[in-house]
């Protein structure tokens, strides 16, 4: 234990991003927040940013702010996420709606593009909302959902996808980082496999990546990987706040071809068109439907500043030392108590969280939360240690692991 503490302290002392820990709002009574991958912590600068927004942009500029800045915010902020976090050139990313609604829009757009294809391929352990949307879209289009089985710890593998994709496949939907195990999928190889199996880029099945558990914690290279479509949320590692809007990426080669179904004024070429017929805006803007949720787009901007300063590669480096240290602490402290590691051992195959399992973890979580040790419980018996690199220290990870041990012992 002494060794682990010394190691944690040493890692923190050498952490080039340690200074950022102070930039987040204090959480009195919280000794270990290990759920930054469900809800990132707010920045200390946020209340003043919000107050300024209320006073100036909203309260004084009033409706004029729509012309002056808000109308382009969804695409400007999308471009910024593209540049800072997901390797997307400008004009392909937009902030809007929720992940669920954007999944619906993109899946509908994707399957309509190849009406002869009858299957949506999705991993059976994918996040519920991804599965629910896929089922719904398949049902309304008379299509079939083909379920891909993946190893619960190591996640979806290239071979699994390559074997399942066929000329019947319209769309493949996968998570880049598995929400349970943290397993990292090989985006480039899988995207290539989906494309080549179906006759080359743009000619057949499309690949939609869910980036909810990778955006902001691990470099993503959508353009370089030739990805067709992606969605992600902004309240995890982008710290946008509870229910902050999601983002969608549609590769430029599909603009003007793919059409999303929720035709709204803010995605129209002419927002106030008097004529009756909807004509979509050019480019990524047509994936917007209703009025952009401006207030919900503010908090993430501060976090994007921070990630830009730290660089996404720097964030990834710290993420690896955090999860590697979590695994070492697990080995020393929890494995002897029959806790199982439910994440890949090699940091290269893992995103920003580590999941561990024990039959008592539902009870353990109930004990820990009121005491200010806050991991995430995952049915049936998993605890997810979500380690948001810019707001989490190695000592905090150790506190959490020790608290789990103590709760198991009691």
Looking at the Cβ atoms of 104 and 361, the one nearer to a copy of itself is 104
Q: Residue 62 interacts with a copy of itself (CB under 8 A)?
A: yes
Pick the piece of the chain touching a copy of itself (CB under 8 A) from 236-244, 301-309, 348-356, 393-401: 236-244
| Footprint on residues 10-39 left by a copy of itself (CB under 8 A) | 24-30, 33, 35, 38-39
Q: Which of 17, 90, 266, 362 binds a copy of itself (CB under 8 A)?
A: 266
| Footprint on residues 354-383 left by a copy of itself (CB under 8 A) | 369, 374, 376, 378-380
User: DSSP assignment of 242-301, as one string?
Assistant: TT--EEEEE-GGGTTT---S---GGGBSSTT--SS---BPSGGGGG--S---SGGGSHHH
CB burial of residue 47 (10 Å; 0-12, 13-18, 19+): exposed
Number of residues that bind a copy of itself (CB under 8 A): 83
Question: What is the spatial distance between Cα 220 and Cα 43, in angstroms, rounded to a whole number?
Answer: 24
Question: What is the spatial distance between Cα 238 and Cα 42, in angstroms, rounded to a whole number?
Answer: 10
Q: Are 4 and 10 in contact (CB under 8 A)?
A: no
Q: Residue 278 interacts with a copy of itself (CB under 8 A)?
A: yes
Q: Residue 229 interacts with a copy of itself (CB under 8 A)?
A: no
Looking at the Cβ atoms of 265 and 317, the one nearer to a copy of itself is 265
Question: What is the spatial distance between Cα 126 and Cα 202, in angstroms, rounded to a whole number?
Answer: 25
Q: Residue 50 interacts with a copy of itself (CB under 8 A)?
A: yes
Q: HSE (CB half, 13 Å, CA atoms) of 34?
A: 32
Q: Residue 6 interacts with a copy of itself (CB under 8 A)?
A: no
Looking at the Cβ atoms of 195 and 358, the one nearer to a copy of itself is 358
Q: Residue 261 interacts with a copy of itself (CB under 8 A)?
A: yes
CB burial of residue 112 (10 Å; 0-12, 13-18, 19+): middle
| Footprint on residues 147-166 left by a copy of itself (CB under 8 A) | 147
Tell me the closest approach of the beta carbon of residue 296 to a copy of itself, in angstroms. 5
Looking at the Cβ atoms of 135 and 317, the one nearer to a copy of itself is 135
Question: What is the spatial distance between Cα 85 and Cα 215, in angstroms, rounded to a whole number?
Answer: 6
Q: Is the peptide bond before 379 cis (omega within 30 degrees of 0)?
A: no
Looking at the Cβ atoms of 138 and 322, the one nearer to a copy of itself is 138
Pick the piece of the chain touching a copy of itself (CB under 8 A) from 192-200, 258-266, 304-312, 316-324: 258-266
Q: Which of 54, 163, 203, 224 binds a copy of itself (CB under 8 A)?
A: 54
Q: Residue 64 interacts with a copy of itself (CB under 8 A)?
A: yes
At 204, give phi and psi (nearest 5°).
Answer: -150, -125
H/E run at residue 81 = helix 73-81
Tell me the closest approach of the beta carbon of residue 63 to a copy of itself, in angstroms. 4
Helices 312-329 and 394-409 pack at an angle, to 10 degrees, of 30
Active-site positions? 127, 210, 235-236, 384
Q: Residue 133 interacts with a copy of itself (CB under 8 A)?
A: yes
| Footprint on residues 107-126 left by a copy of itself (CB under 8 A) | 124
Pick the piece of the chain touching a copy of itself (CB under 8 A) from 169-177, 185-193, 274-282, 341-349: 274-282
Contacts of 341 (CB under 8 A, 6+ apart): 153, 327, 330, 335, 354, 355, 356
Q: HSE (CB half, 13 Å, CA atoms) of 381?
A: 10
Pick the piece of the chain touching a copy of itself (CB under 8 A) from 62-70, 152-160, 167-175, 198-206: 62-70
Looking at the Cβ atoms of 37 and 251, the one nearer to a copy of itself is 37
Q: Residue 232 interacts with a copy of itself (CB under 8 A)?
A: no
* Residue 223 neighbours by CB distance under 10 Å: 16
Q: Residue 274 interacts with a copy of itself (CB under 8 A)?
A: yes
Q: Please identify which residue in the block is written with the tokens 């190695």.
A: 394
Looking at the Cβ atoms of 13 and 63, the one nearer to a copy of itself is 63
Q: Are 387 and 322 in contact (CB under 8 A)?
A: yes
Q: What torsion do the CA atoms of 175, 352, 249, 208 make, to the nearest 10 degrees?
A: -10
Q: Which of 80, 92, 93, 104 binds a copy of itself (CB under 8 A)?
A: 104
Q: Residue 140 interacts with a copy of itself (CB under 8 A)?
A: yes
Taken in order 148, 153, 158, 163, the sign of the CA dihedral is: negative
| Footprint on residues 282-321 left by a copy of itself (CB under 8 A) | 289-296, 299
């Amino acid at each position: 234990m002494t060794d682990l503490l010394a190691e944690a302290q040493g890692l923190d002392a050498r952490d080039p991003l340690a200074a950022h820990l102070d930039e987040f709002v204090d959480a009195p009574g919280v000794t270990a927040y290990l759920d930054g991958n469900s809800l990132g912590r707010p920045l200390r600068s946020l209340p003043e940013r919000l107050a300024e927004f209320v006073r100036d942009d909203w309260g004084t500029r009033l409706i004029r702010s729509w012309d002056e800045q808000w109308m382009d915010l969804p695409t400007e902020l999308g471009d910024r996420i593209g540049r800072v976090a997901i390797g997307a050139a400008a004009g392909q990313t937009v902030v809007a709606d929720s992940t669920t609604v954007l999944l619906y829009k993109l899946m509908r757009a994707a399957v309509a593009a190849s009406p002869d294809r009858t299957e949506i391929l999705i991993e059976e352990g994918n996040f519920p909302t991804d599965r629910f949307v896929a089922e719904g879209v398949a049902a309304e289009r008379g299509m079939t959902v083909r379920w891909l089985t993946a190893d619960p710890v190591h996640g979806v593998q290239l071979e699994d996808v390559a074997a399942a994709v066929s000329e019947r496949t319209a769309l493949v939907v996968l998570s880049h980082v598995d929400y349970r195990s943290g397993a990292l999928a090989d985006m480039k190889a899988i995207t290539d496999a989906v494309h080549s199996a179906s006759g080359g880029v743009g000619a057949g099945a499309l690949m939609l990546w869910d980036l909810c558990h990778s955006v902001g914690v691990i470099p993503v290279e959508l353009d370089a990987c030739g990805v067709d479509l992606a969605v992600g949320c902004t309240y995890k590692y982008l710290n946008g706040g509870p229910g902050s809007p999601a983002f969608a990426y549609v590769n430029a080669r599909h603009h003007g071809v793919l059409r999303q179904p929720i035709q709204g004024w803010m995605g129209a070429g002419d927002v106030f068109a008097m004529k009756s017929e909807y004509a979509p805006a050019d480019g990524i803007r047509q994936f917007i439907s209703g009025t952009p949720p401006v207030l919900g787009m503010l908090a993430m901007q501060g976090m994007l500043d921070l990630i830009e300063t730290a660089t996404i590669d720097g964030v990834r480096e710290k993420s690896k030392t955090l999860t590697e240290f979590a695994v070492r602490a697990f080995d020393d402290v929890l494995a002897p108590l029959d806790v199982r590691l439910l994440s890949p051992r090699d940091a290269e195959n893992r995103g920003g969280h580590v999941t561990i399992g024990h039959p008592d973890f539902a009870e353990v979580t109930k004990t820990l939360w009121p005491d200010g040790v806050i991991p995430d419980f995952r049915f049936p018996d998993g605890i997810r240690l979500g380690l948001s690199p810019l707001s989490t220290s190695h000592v905090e990870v150790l506190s959490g692991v020790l608290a789990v041990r103590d709760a198991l012992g009691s």
